[in-house]
Amino acid sequence: MGKPRIRTIQRLKNSKMTPPTILRIFPSSLKRKTDTSFKLLMRFLMMLIAMLLIQFTGAGQDIHPDARHTIQVSPDNPLKFYNAHRFLLQGRGATIPEEGYNRIDSNMLGKVTKSVARLSKNTAGLQVDFITDSKTVAFKWSLSDYGVLPNMTPIAKNGLDLYALNDGKWQYVAAVAATGPTTEKTAIRHLDGTIHHFRVYLPLYSSLTDLSIGVDSNSSIQAPEAQKKPAIVIYGTSITQGASASRPGLAYPNILSRDLNATVYNMGFSGSGKMEPVMADIIAQMPADLYVIDCTPNMTAGLIRQRALPFLHHLRRLRPTTPILLMESPIRETSFWNLDVQKSVTEQNKAINQVFKTLLQEGMTHLYYLAAKDLTGQDHEATIDGTHLTDVGFQRLLALLEPVIKSILPGWQ
């Protein structure tokens, strides 16, 4: 590149060209470098202007998906946070210590399997009701096992789901996702300042160690009075626990709690609903008007034949007249293609159906049954992974389950 440039300069010495013409015959690479520098300078200036606009006008505050949840506090009215245990915590057994968020009493953890003990610390089905006239509602919460699951949304696993009563019906307000083991976020702001009854559903697949509710410091907040409602205990599997609802409020036990105005105890344990005798002792301690036994998906046909009858006999001795509803396993989507899975699911449901018939022949009363047919529809689009239900799947399950429950508990309709 050196020699051509020297010849160009030598020719210029004898040239009568004017300076503008001379500039045009400079090497094109120099012109490109000049253009590039100018463009970089302009980009820098544009970025600087944009940053100044954001700083002084607030423009761009919604660019980040979490921006609408960032805590923004007025100096004249800062938020005040209250321990959630001051309010109405529902869905937790009566024997749980006052400050705990476990689903099983710690005194029983040594008697259950390790997986049940671990999963019992997940807050599936727990909900906190509170009444406030605050224009802002925020939350601080800490998790002992923040993380991700491949078939769960981050909000469903780790987040909070806020509802409010509107004309006597529960209506979704907002959901907030955790950003780490400890999170502080605003769920909703610019409310009208009148009294609202809120309910926040807790994470489905994480263990909560602390929860505080934040409201405007000049507002009021209190616990609503506890109402007499039907109590339903659902003992089951990962589907019962909430896999794979998009957010906590859409797990089917939580939808039931709203639709039936019931207290629903979520005793779903992912992969671990297997009818151990001690589980009959545990759920019998809960004040239930109905037991729903949804363990079939976690048990082989052989295990059902081995454990189901003793488990149900024991539960009936402890709760002689409380209705019991047995559920078949939803048909796994892979069973339409994988013949081994098809055989397994068919045998599971045949086994639990035979248990039901045997108990009827023995004279057990207040016993009910829900078959798998149409439980998730017929279009094969109700699961996230062929097994766990999506929001669509849960709605289809409830379309069959709710009428059965209403027929069993007619006085609560």
Model confidence pLDDT, tens digit, residues 221-258: 999 999 999 999 999 999 999 999 999 999 999 999 99
Pairing of strands 182-188, 221-222: unpaired
pLDDT number for residue 2: 45
CA–CA distances in Å: residue 180 to residues 100, 151, 202: 21, 19, 16
pLDDT number for residue 49: 58
Helix, strand, coil shares of the chain as percentages rounded to 5?
A: 40, 20, 40
One fold for 79-91+126-222 and 231-412 = no
Domain ranges of the chain: 79-91+126-222, 231-412
Strands of the 324-327 sheet, one edge to the other: 263-268, 231-236, 290-294, 324-327, 367-370
pLDDT number for residue 190: 97
Q: Is this prediction's pTM over 0.85?
A: no
Please return the burial class of 197, using the count of CB atoms within 10 Å of its CB with bins 0-12, 13-18 and 19+: middle
Average pLDDT of span 169-176: 98
pLDDT number for residue 57: 37
Q: What b-and-e string marks burial along 139-174, b requiring 16 or more CB atoms within 10 Å of the CB?
A: bbbbbebbeebeebbbbbbbbbbbbbbeeeebeebb
* Contact predicate 242/210, CB 8 Å: no
Residue 217 and residue 203: Cα distance in Å, rounded?
A: 27
pLDDT number for residue 342: 96
Share of the chain above pLDDT 70, in %: 80
Going by pLDDT thresholds of 50, 70 and 90, the confidence category of residue 19 is very low
Please determine, for residue 193, whether its predicted confidence score (pLDDT) is greater than 50. yes
Residue 267 and residue 234: Cα distance in Å, rounded?
A: 6
Going by pLDDT thresholds of 50, 70 and 90, the confidence category of residue 329 is very high
pLDDT number for residue 47: 61
For domain 79-91+126-222, the CATH superfamily is Galactose-binding domain-like (2.60.120.260)
Average pLDDT of span 3-20: 41
Average pLDDT of span 22-48: 53
Going by pLDDT thresholds of 50, 70 and 90, the confidence category of residue 40 is low
CATH classification for the domain delimited by 231-412, as one of 3.40.50.1110, 3.90.1170.10, 2.20.25.90, 3.40.50.300:
3.40.50.1110
Angle at alpha carbon of residue 266, lines to 264 and 272, rounded to 5°: 155
Q: What is the DSSP letter of 229?
A: -
405 phi, psi to nearest 5 deg: -65, -40
Average pLDDT of span 81-95: 90
Please determine, for residue 41, whether its predicted confidence score (pLDDT) is greater than 70. no
> Is pLDDT larger for residue 134 or for residue 17?
134
Average pLDDT of span 29-46: 57
Strand partners, 69: none
pLDDT number for residue 411: 74
> What's at 253, amino acid-wise?
P
pLDDT mean across residues, the chain: 87
Please state which of the ranges 22-26, 41-45, 244-248, 389-393 shows the lowest mean pLDDT. 22-26
Closest listed residue to residue 283, CA positions, set 87, 404, 116: 116
pLDDT tens digits, one per residue of 261-281: 999 999 999 999 999 999 999
Average pLDDT of span 205-220: 97
Residue 400 and residue 279: Cα distance in Å, rounded?
A: 26
